[in-house]
Amino acid sequence: MSKGSNPFSRSTQFIMVALVLTAGFLFVSIRLAVIQWIQYGKWHSLAKRQHERKISDHVERGTIYDRSGKIVSINVDVPSLYAVADEVENPQRTAQLLASHLTIPQDKLVKKLHRGKDFIWLARKINPDRLDQIKRLDLSGIGSLMESKRFYPKRALFGHIVGFVGMDNKGLEGIEHRYDDWLTGAPGEVVVVRDAYGKSIYPKGFNYIPPSRGKDIHLTLDETIQHITARELRIAVANARAKGGVAIVMEPTTGAILSMAVHPAFNPNAYDRYRPSEWRNKAITDMYEPGSTFKIVAASGALEENLVYPNQIINCEQGAYTVSGTVIHDHEPMGRVPFYDVIARSSNIGMVKVADRLGKGRLAAYAKAFGFGSKRGIDLTGESPGLLQDTAKWSKRSLASIAIGQEVGVTPLQMTVALSVIANGGWRVTPYVVQEGAETASFPARKRVISEKTAFAMTRMLKRVVSEKGTGGKAAIAGFSVAGKTGTAQKVDTQTGRYSRDGYVSSFVGFVPAQDPILTILVMIDEPEVGEFGGEVAAPAFSVIGREVLHYLKVPPTSHHGGPI
């Protein structure tokens, strides 16, 4: 071979070049096929992330209705103001003009406009009148979108039960919180396109995907019954110059809550104007010493165990009786009286003597069976279990104290459920506020606590409470027999740890008509300054609530007079 000659022939070179080009073409073709078919989803998703931006829109919650179909909570469309930062020509001037129409300081608006983001929320859910004023300014880069805002047409009437939602439409209190997942639908979104420099392009009208609506809820509460209950509670608190109060109306046979009022009330449309403590539903969250209303536990237990009978004579020691070195007093001196008068006239001494026969083990067991010391399972958040200490922690005085409603903490709801055991022939029911549209708590519907015979005997004795000889005469309702119990309990002074001399909780809880109960009603007044006893402070409100609700429900009278029949 001569010097400098090519070792490969032209044909060989051609073949090699062809093979290289063919391999390259095949590689590109295979790679293209992989990208276009096998990896299509991956690259399409990446491209969308690079060229599109999604701005979430808030969901439209389901509507909440009362038992008769009246709207309690609903959504209304209101405008929200936004800025496209790149399109705002003069941020300082724009912020100055907007500040005069919004409750936002100018310097805060300037900071928002200089954040470097292309889409910025300036003000959420504003008054439509303000939006009209802002539109007249014709500011570049400023626009609006309609958002869903929660509105409570009944204002404060259902505030503590229904609760409220935050700016993001997330339930924060009450039904809105408890059933948030049910009420919340799927979120919507605004889709915008980005250019090669990453800036968003906002076509006219946006690419808007509306949210899907949440599911509705129907409550057991009735607007008219709630109005009656809240009004009479407000009057009772005002007449007693009290700190506050709670009133509940419940169906004793089903556990359906027809009304639940807390005073002072709050308006969920403006919840941020109230302290968090004022949002609390004290009917289920706050406990108090019940006093004499708790006597139904020891009385029922003793009757059930055949340790006492209604006509049995009990020596009430003329109003003073020593237990473990301390003296127990009655509000009026009594001597030897039948057990039914121990209940009707609310003798502490007589009840302590009967509870002593029952013993601490059985007293504690009956207290638990009536529903004290544990949550009642109502479908609301924040329920307190109350306070019922284990018998190992009881002192020598505890049996006597607990028998008359001391050393024990109950909620108004627990007390309502407990009395309903007697109204319901010995069965305890689980209270609830949602009747349709969502799953309720998984608590047993009914549980036997006492026999029907004991419940009947207790009913007869509780009817005597609402008589001229009893402590609850002012709870009587003309034309209906009423069974119930008064309660007056001294509050514990948080500073001294002892019972206060002037701080009381006065209450009355009862059911009507006594022989075929339709309603269980509780009225609790916290720290009355005018009046002291439950029969004076709370019983009159019970009477008016019962009378008007029975009339509203068209329940015919059962007698020609009030009191026992």
Query: Six-digit token pair at 227?
Result: 């109005």
CB neighbours of residue 193 within 10 Å: 14
Active site residue 292: yes
Return the bridge partners of 82, or none.
121, 143
Q: Where is 536: in which H helix or E strand?
A: helix 534-537
Burial of 119 (0-12, 13-18, 19+ CB in 10 A): middle
Sheet holding 519-526: strands in order across?
A: 257-263, 244-250, 519-526, 499-512, 483-492
Query: Six-digit token pair at 482?
Result: 């009423």
CB within 8 A of 64, min separation 6: which ones? 71, 72, 73, 74, 162, 175, 176, 183, 216, 217, 218, 219
CB-CB contact of 549 with 258 (8 Å): yes
| Active-site residue, selected from the candidate residues 80, 148, 259, 292 | 292
What is the C-alpha separation between 263 and 265, in angstroms, rounded?
5
What is the C-alpha separation between 499 and 489, in angstroms, rounded?
9
Q: Are strands 64-65 and 217-219 parallel, antiparallel or unpaired?
A: parallel
For 196-226, letters b (16+ CB in 10 Å) and e give eeeebebeeeeeeeebebbebbbbbbbbbbb
Active site residues: 292
